[in-house]
Structure 1
Amino acid sequence: MKHLKYGKTYLLTILTLFSFIWVNTIYSQQHNNRTDQIINEGWFFQKGDISDAEKENFNHSEWELLNLPHNWGWETAEKGDKKYYRGPGWYRKKLHIEPKTGRRYFLRFEAVGYKAEVYLNGKNIGNHMGGFGAFCFEITEHLNAKKENILAVKASNEFDNSIAPLGGDFNIYGGIYRSVHLIETADICFNLTDHASSGIKWLQTDVSEEKAVLDITAWISNSTDKGLKFNHFPKELNETLPDGLFDLEANIYDDKGNLVVSKTHQINLSPNLTIPFKLQLHIKNPHLWQGTIDPYLYKGVISLKSKGKTIDKISQNIGLRSFNIDPDKGFFLNGKPYRLKGVSKHQDRKNKGWAVSNKDLEEDIALITEMGANALRCAHYQHSDYLMDLCDKAGLLVWSEIPQVGSIKEHDDFVTNSRNQLLDMIRQQINHPSVFAWGLFNEVHVSRNDPHRDFVDLENLASVEDPTRPTVAATSHYASPQMNRIPDILGWNRYPGWYDSIENLYNPTQWDKYQPTSQHGGFCFSEYGAGANIEHHEQNPNQPVPRDFWHPEEWQSIVHEASWARYSQTPYIWGSFVWNMFDFSAAKRREGGQEGINDKGLVTFDRKIKKDAFFFYKANWSKQPVLHITSKRHTIRTSAKTPVKIYCNISDAVKLKVNGKTISTAKTNDFKTVIWEDITLKKGKNRIEVSVKKNGKTIKDQTIWTFDPNAKSLKPEIGIKDRIKGDGGFGQ
């Protein structure tokens, strides 16, 4: 039996940003000689391309005063305006900094949508192309000694065919929509400007229950004249010279703060160079990171010292784990079977666009873990580092990807920017134990631009940057079979029951033909699902037409019930990712009785209502007790005969009462579902009650349905046309 492994095992770490406050504060975090301030307050903003706005003496007093995070475009895009504003906007802010001798200063932007020009005191200090990764510029040489400095940022979400994404069923907003940091360090520090990474990379050579071997690379930036000069040459090859001699120290602590292992290495720096240094640590009998079962985290601390004094220090969380994918048996975590039960999410939220808070992200992860998911696909671009921190702590395995969506361009600017987006993602997220794969593309269609060279180069780059993780891609077609074999592993975006016939889910051999489409065999479902408007209800519905008005919530549940029943019983399908965890905005959509919304989410766009399908997965995936009557929102019924369907994981015996009369006690099926067919309702209000007994206690759920044969349904009077074969919707 062939087993597919990546690297050997993985140790990954997390940059600890949990205590940062998102808005309305300037928060200073100090580690010895390093301070990190979030400077989100007091920015002036003006939409449009403003002449001379970068100049130091420009008058911005009439501009809007606001706090970050901030973005534009969502205001009309969420309402279905396909011509929502895509253009430039300017931000300006006064920075009060008194430069100190022997100190360095940096600006780090967590993200700007989707390209940025940054000016300090009228001088351009750097530009960034791409709306999802962080970037960092040193400003030490550009600061005014008089303390007041003028920071100006031009952001733009104007379409640019040199920047991915060039397509996709989601909106592109503009603005500084994540936090901005002002960082002060000593004149010798861990490098901050290498694609805004921490300057520290943790990789593992071997991890098992018996041992963990950790390979650490620390990039140290020396802006001084200290260190070995060109004419220095040791008398002996192993001689260390006192000029530029420092200690590089690595410590690992357990979750109680006890030191587990420590190593110190003497290093020589060279003047005005940034140099990588390596250390190796060994841990005996490590406590492994076991996903949602036990997301155990160590703390790793890397320190640069001189004569016992700490010059710079980085603390990061570390998770130790290994995985492999068997093309016939599926996904294994730390040598044990571990089916990925995943969801996907976009980063937008109703009435906020991309400018979400840490609290918003915490709510998202809480909903995902409540449902019992153990994996997350961050679609279709790099998500925030804070979200990765939350996933590390929750034990969610993460598929992180760059925004190569729909199409690509072969010209040099696009290739360069795509390469930089991949480097941003990998170097910023490489130390997160949650990330298990680097995504290269999603549903790219072969047309006039040939993607093969670009994707092979990206795959090679990812493998060199991080030999411990596989590359992955999501496809939806056979048009270019070799393109699908470029990444190490493959996901298929298929929608049986929505864009395809639901009959595909009832054929046990339907997916056999997909198995050889990947490089090594086996695949996951990277997207599947169906739309649902919580105001649309129909009992025993037929399959809707995706682009039409009618998206009954009941049909979404039927699709997910059939999908999970099939995927979970097919070993070579190593994982599945529901599309989508949350409804999201897609300005070009006109369907499901809503404009500008993709309604395939299991939770509404505002995160306030969990659809019935959410409870189906919670009953099957979570250990939390579930007893849920479906179709509660279908409060007005026009037929006296109705099914009653419930999801339950508390007991396999569920009692149904209608208007106080016991109907029967029924057994749940293998997927925690019970259906009573043809229950008769009386005219007027009907009380539906289900109950189970657990440990001597009775647990109940109930609802009221009103039978009114004269009530009018939201469903159009004209019969919905048959689904047109090949109606693939967006991207299918």
Structure 2
Amino acid sequence: MPNRLRLHGALVMATCLVLLAAGLAAAAPSVLRASEAGVWLAAGPTRKWVGLDDGWRFHYGDVPGATGPEFDDSTWATVNVPHTWNGQDGQDGGNNYTRGAGVYRRHYAVPPGQAGRRQYLQFDGASLVTEVWINGTHVGRHEGGFARFRFDVTDALKPGADNVIAVRVDNSKNIDVAPLSGDFTVFGGLYRGVGLWVTDPLAIDPLDHAGPGVYLRTRSLTDASATVEVTTLVRNNGATPRKVAVRALIADAAGAPVAAATGDDVTVAAGGQARVVRSVEVPKPHRWNGKADPYLYKASAEVIDAASGRVTDVVTEPLGFRTVALDPANGLILNDKRHPLHGVNRHQDRPDKGWAVTAAEETTDFDLMDEMGVNALRTAHYQQSQTVYDLSDKRGYLVWTEIPLVDYITLGDAFAANVEQQIREMIRQNYNHPSVVFWGIGNEQQVDDGPVNALMDRLNTIVAEEDPTRWSAYAHAQVHINGGLDKHAAAAGYNRYYGWYYGSCEQLGPFLDNVRTTYPNRPVGLSEYGAGASVSQHDTGAVAPTAGGQWHPEEYQSSFHERYWTQISARPYLWGTFVWNMFDFAADMRAEGDSPGRNDKGLVTYDRKIRKDAFYFYKAVWTDTPFVHITSSRWTDRPAGRTTVKVYSTLPDVSLTINGVSAGQATTVNPGVFTWPVTLVAGENKVEVTGTRGGKNYTETVSWDAT
């Protein structure tokens, strides 16, 4: 770098750092501000985000000529995205929900000032196969329903004119696109946001599997310092070669600069890409430490035109310093301390809306998980929205995210290429999230043969190539453990439903111990376990119901989880356990419990309005929040006579009265669980429980009518 440019670069960097510290977002092109998209953008002439969520026309079914600009769509429905066409019929049972093609159209007037800029149309999620036309010109096709994707639409959009965007989305089963099946409804449509990135021709590449184009890797970490490798993919869409400087900057959680690095200029060929690596030293790094302290830095990469000194692009990503290890004997180790994962699985749908949920609704899900004490999340069975990963970063969750390779594969190159594409998209789009620890390569393959195992081997290799700092993971459901399926991933998870689909709850512990004994060097986790529950069905919970039947009493689910947790908590070698499921969800092929089309194993109802009793059990053993909860409170009409009252609480001593009379000393067989033998008299019975902490009483009262 010439001395003049070195001096200029140093002055620009110093100015940038001062402005970052001062928070003057409008003062210089390299100063960062928060955007509506939930990412950090540069002010001034660098990249801009144009939201395109509103004002779409929609028609279910193909219509001849509908992708052309002159087509009359005035009779079509007006919709905003996120949108789905089968939010209701995908949840009502019968397995005959709508799967096919829908067409969306939207007008967009490109401002004249965008002439000469690059424009990238982004879809945050569309199910399952998407094709896009602009002004009648086909600009791209994407196969896969869960990852973000982008198309370069610069040549198709006309600045200063009205443009027509047409999108065909098809959620039909496609033998070349995962998932081929699964115990969940495949909703269709543009079910996440849509927008346009506008960048300088010299910019950080938006087309690297729709990743950020900036990838962060911690090379060393001690209490004294951390070394961060910042890799930036620079794209030159100009007609001539460009010489550029690339600078990496690290700011703390408050936005104050803490470190920066630059290097020699790089020449990027016309139409080409350059991969630039900068190593940044951060003094006294503040660690991201799960829910105890989810501290986040901000890491920025700046692209500077060396000839003019102008910053042409900035991308900022979350950065969290942490070490994670898996110990076959002691489970997961976060920052050199044992960190048991108290996890849940989560599907992303809501009643009547399918997958077309809002960021506010996803935040509500995290609020409920926080209340219950969850510290780990498995995004079953697919990549979820960026809001989910952002909230996991900010709230300290450790995440197992996975591709939708569920149940079966299709033999042949096309299907293999699709799942390879989906895993690369998932990794690159989420590479910088400190919350992500596991890349899931599949779930519950039903055939354990050569082609399936070869594909699993290939996916495991891709994970190691793409990201050697994390683990591949697989959720195993076969009865035996001596096949091939649970041997490919670095972290083994087992989906086990003893006491629900088969056997008794007490078989879980011996099964886990058998895996541990048979494979002493294998990290072992429990990726799924659960039982169905209806909040309107009640009995004593003493007898296991039929899993596929219409009777799923809430009490049995509570008993199931108590018995499982007794075995889980006695096995410190487990690196993580994940309840199936945090929320009830749509599975249109099911006909069981009190609602057809529903998997009712959630600890919270589908509408998020009712916390089932088992929710409070985990709150009692996973949190220190003071509370008392009387179980079976919804069983208001019950037999008179002898029965057992059960209470969940985090308080050391709780007392119970029946119609104002003390029930005596509680029995506490399990931590957080208190029981009393009582007699209910005919008529109304007022049950009151009280616990005390710090001089404050916590009380809950219910009324039961006994006959």
TM-score by length of 2: 0.92
CA–CA separation in structure 2 for the residues paired with 1:285 and 1:661: 60
Query: Does the residue aligned with 2:246 lie in a helix, a strand or coil?
Result: strand
Matches within 5 A, 1:78-97: 78-97=91-110
Report what 1:496 is aligned to: 498
Rate the CA distance shift 1:616–1:271 in 2: closer, same or farther, 3 A.
same
Tell me the alpha carbon deviations over residues 536-556 of structure 1, each in whole angstroms, 9 at most, x when there is no partner. 100243011101111010000
Q: C-alpha distance in 2, partners of 1:160/1:342?
A: 32
Structure 2 counterpart of 1:674: 674
Shift of 1:496: 1.9
Name the aligned partner's letter for residue 263 of structure 2.
H
Q: Displacement of 1:563 after TM fit?
A: 0.8
Q: Is the 8 A contact 2:185 2:587 kept in 1?
A: yes
Partner SS for 2:70: coil
Contact 1:28/1:38 (8 A) holds in 2: no
In structure 2, how many angstroms separate the alpha carbons of the residues matched to 1:395 and 1:41? 33
Contact 1:395 1:434 in 2 (8 A): yes
Offset, 1:443: 0.2
Which residue of structure 2 lines up, in the alignment, with residue 33 of structure 1? 46
State how far apart, in whole Å, the 1-side matches of 2:33 and 2:133 are: 26
Distance 1:272 1:260 in 2: 34
* Cα-to-partner distance string for 1:178-211 (whole Å, 9 max, x where unaligned): 0011111111000001111111111112223333
Letter in 1 for 2:472: T
RMSD: 1.9
Deviation at 1:81, TM superposition (A): 3.0
Are the aligned partners of 1:485 and 1:517 in contact in 2 as well (CA < 8 Å)?
Answer: no
CA distance in 2, matches of 1:511, 1:106: 49
Q: Is the 8 A contact 1:410 1:454 kept in 2?
A: no
1:650-670 per-residue CA deviation (whole Å, 9 max, x = no partner) reads 2x2111100011121336445
Deviations 1:221-275 (A, max 9, x none): 1011332xxxxxxxxxxxxxxxx33221111111222211111123222221011
Distance 1:94 1:697 in 2: 60
| Equivalent in the alignment of 1:458 | 459
Q: Could you tell me how far apart the structure 1 residues matched to 2:33 and 2:178 are?
A: 27
Greater shift after overlay, 101-110 or 306-315?
306-315
* 1:77 aligned counterpart, secondary structure: coil
Letter in 2 for 1:411: G
Matching of residues 3-402 of structure 1 within 5 Å: 20=36, 32-99=45-112, 100-227=114-241, 244-268=242-266, 269-306=268-305, 307-402=308-403
Shift of 1:592: 1.1
Q: Which runs of 5+ in 1 are unaligned?
A: 1-15, 228-243, 709-732
Could you say what secondary structure the match of 2:411 adopts? coil
Q: Distance in 1 between matches of 2:442 and 2:519?
A: 14
| 1:588 counterpart SS class | coil
Question: What's the CA shift string for 1:427-484, capped at 9, x where partnerless?
Answer: 1011111100100010001178721111111111111111111100001113762221
Distance 1:622 1:673 in 2: 14
Percent identity over the alignment is 37
CA distance in 1, matches of 2:657, 2:127: 54
Mapped contact 1:612–1:630 kept (Cα < 8 A): yes
Aligned to 1:380, the other structure's residue is in SS state: coil
Instruction: Tell me if structure 2 keeps the 8 A contact 1:653–1:665.
Output: no
Q: Secondary structure at the match of 1:281?
A: strand
> What do residues 693-728 of structure 1 show as CA deviations (whole Å, max 9, x unaligned)?
2222222111111102xxxxxxxxxxxxxxxxxxxx
Cα offsets for 1:140-181 (capped at 9, x unmatched):
111224511110000000111101111110011110000011
> For residues 37 and 101 of structure 1, do their structure 2 counterparts lie closer, same or farther at Cα, with a shift above 3 Å needed?
closer
Offset of 1:520 from its aligned partner?
A: 3.8
Q: 1:126 to 1:503 in 2, by over 3 A?
A: closer
Q: CA deviation at 1:639?
A: 3.4
Paired with 2:317 and 2:448, the residues of 1 have a C-alpha distance of 44
**Alpha-carbon distance change, 459 to 321 in structure 1, aligned in 2, over 3 angstroms:** same
Structure 2 counterparts to residues 439-458 of structure 1, below 5 A: 439-446=440-447, 450-458=451-459
Amino acid of the structure 2 residue aligned with 1:582: F
Look up the match of 2:408: 407
The reply to whether residue 432 of structure 1 matches residue 433 of structure 2 is yes
Asked which structure has the greater RCO (Cα within 8 Å, sep 6+), the reply is 1
Classify 1:137/1:510 alpha carbon distance in 2 versus 1 (closer, same or farther; 3 Å).
Answer: closer
Aligned position for 1:611: 612
Distance 2:90 2:411 in 1: 30
Equivalent AA in structure 1 for residue 602 of structure 2: G
Distance 1:487 1:17 in 2: 40
Distance change in 2, residues 1:383/1:85 (3 Å): same
Cα distance in structure 1, aligned partners of 2:34 and 2:146: 19
Relative to structure 1, the CA distance from residue 321 to residue 448 in structure 2 (aligned partners, 3 Å threshold; closer, same or farther) is: closer
- CA 1:58–1:499: 2 relative to 1, 3 Å: same
In structure 2, distance between residues paired with 1:670 and 1:285? 43
What is the alpha-carbon distance in structure 2 between the residues aligned to residue 541 and residue 685 of structure 1? 24
Say which SS state the counterpart of residue 342 (structure 2) adopts: strand
Does the Cα contact within 8 Å between 1:248 and 1:303 map onto a contact in 2?
yes
Change over 3 Å in CA distance of 1:134–1:309 after alignment to 2: same
Tell me by how many angstroms 1:33 deviates. 1.5
Q: Deviations over 1:617-639 (max 9, x none)?
A: 01111122121110000000123
- Label 1:524 to 1:274 Cα distance change in 2 as closer, same or farther (>3 A): same
2:119–2:152 CA contact under 8 A, matched in 1? yes
Contact in 1 for aligned 2:627/2:698 (Cα 8 Å)? no
Answer whether contact 1:476 1:492 (CA < 8 A) is retained.
yes
Contact 2:509 2:568 in 1 (8 A): no
- Conserved? CA contact 1:502–1:559, under 8 Å: no
Contact residue 485 and residue 519 of structure 1 kept, 8 A: no
How far is the alpha carbon of 1:341 from its aligned partner?
0.4
Normalising by structure 1, we get a TM-score of 0.89
**One-letter code of the match for 1:249?**
R
> What is the DSSP-based 3-state SS (H/G/I as helix, E as strand, rest coil) of the residue aligned with 2:665?
strand
Question: Within the alignment, does 1:597 sit opposite 2:608 as a pair?
Answer: no
| Structure 2 residue identity aligned to 1:267 | D
| Pair 1:632-2:630 in alignment | no
Q: Hey, what's the Cα distance between the residues in 2 that align with 1:503 and 1:152? A: 53
- Where structure 2 has 5 or more consecutive residues not aligned to the other structure, the ranges are 1-31
Change (3 A) 1:519 1:61: farther
Which whole-Å deviations, capped at 9, do the CAs of 1:393-424 have from their partners, x for residues lacking one?
A: 01000100000000011211101111110111
**Structure 2: distance between partners of 1:617 and 1:297:** 28
Question: Which residue identity is paired with 1:258?
Answer: A
Deviations 1:51-99 (A, max 9, x none): 1111121111111111111012231121103111100000000010035
Distance 1:503 1:159 in 2: 36
Do the aligned residues in 2 keep the contact of 1:484 with 1:518 (CA within 8 Å)?
A: no
Report matched runs for 1:525-564 at 5 Å.
Answer: 525-564=526-565
Distance in 2 between residues matched to 1:592 and 1:315, nearest whole Å? 47
From 472, 483, 486, the counterpart of 2:485: 483
Mapped contact 1:205–1:214 kept (Cα < 8 A): yes
Instruction: Tell me how far apart the structure 1 counterparts of residues 663 and 43 of structure 2 sit (CA, whole Å).
Output: 66
Q: Which amino acid aligns with 1:662?
A: S
Write the mapping of 1:655-674 to structure 2, written as runs, cut at 5 A.
655-666=655-666, 668-674=668-674
- After superposition, the Cα gap between the structure-2 partners of 1:519 and 1:123, relative to the gap in structure 1 and judged at 3 Å, is farther
How many residue pairs get aligned? The number is 670
